[in-house]
Structure 1
Amino acid sequence: MDSGTTTLLLYMAVFFAIMYFFMIRPQQKQQKQRQAMLTSLKVNDKIITAGGIHGKIKKVKEDSVIVLIADKVEIELNKSGVGTILNREITVEKRKFFGKKDNEKTKEVDNDEESETQEDSAE
């Protein structure tokens, strides 16, 4: 091979390595966090659906949840339709270098309750 081909292959390898570390790895991390969130759904969790509907989980089924969105108004939606869980910490197993395990916590906070607390303290 001549030096031009070797240089081109080297640039391509570096390009794919950069793509892997800046695009593929973060996406895999997000998928793990989302999967951990969906498997940790439980009764009385406050959620926001992917469509923006706020509610509280009344029942968890294998592939779906029943959500109370108003008094005596319940909807059933697939677990994949849950956007976020409010007021919960979700632990995701994370691997460091050389296969060592580390737990990563992501905390989701309900902003409405924070603003209510701030309003109460202001009065």
Structure 2
Amino acid sequence: MSQGALAQFLPLILLFVIFWFLIIRPQQKQQKAHKEMLASLKKGDRIVTNGGLIAEVVKPEEDYLKIKLNDDTIVRLDRNYVARKLNEA
């Protein structure tokens, strides 16, 4: 490879590096944090679903969570539909 060819690809390589640090890497960190949060859910934790429902975890299972929506309603929710965990101080 000659110097001219390397000089032509340098802006493209630089663009990819910038793209990696601004978009791909932060998204991977966010996915990792969400996966860790899902793995750490336990009985009594309050969560928000992707549909906006606020519920309490009754029993964590392998792929699902049994959640309590109110005093009378307990349903199963796929873990993939948990948006976040509520932190109540």
Same fold (TM over 0.5): yes
Alignment of 1:43-122 (within 5 A): 43-87=43-87, 110=88
Spell out, residue by residue over 1:16-48, the C-alpha distance to the aligned partner (whole angstroms, 9 max, x if none).
Answer: 111111111101100110110000010000110
Distance in 2 (alpha carbons) for counterparts of 1:53 and 1:75? 12
Partner SS for 2:69: strand
Matching of residues 7-22 of structure 1 within 5 Å = 7-22=7-22
Distance in 2, matches of 1:2 and 1:58, equals: 64
Unaligned ranges ≥5, structure 1: 88-109, 114-123
Residues in 1 aligned to 2:8 and 2:51: alpha-carbon distance in whole angstroms: 46
Q: Give the superposed CA RMSD.
A: 1.4
The structure with the largest strand share of the pair is 1
In the aligned structure 2, how far is the partner of 1:58 from the partner of 1:6? 59
Q: Can you give the 5+ residue segments of structure 2 that lack an aligned partner in the other structure?
A: none
Cα distance in 1 between the residues matched to 2:52 and 2:75: 14
Q: Counterpart amino acid of 1:20?
A: W
Q: Secondary structure at the match of 1:70?
A: coil
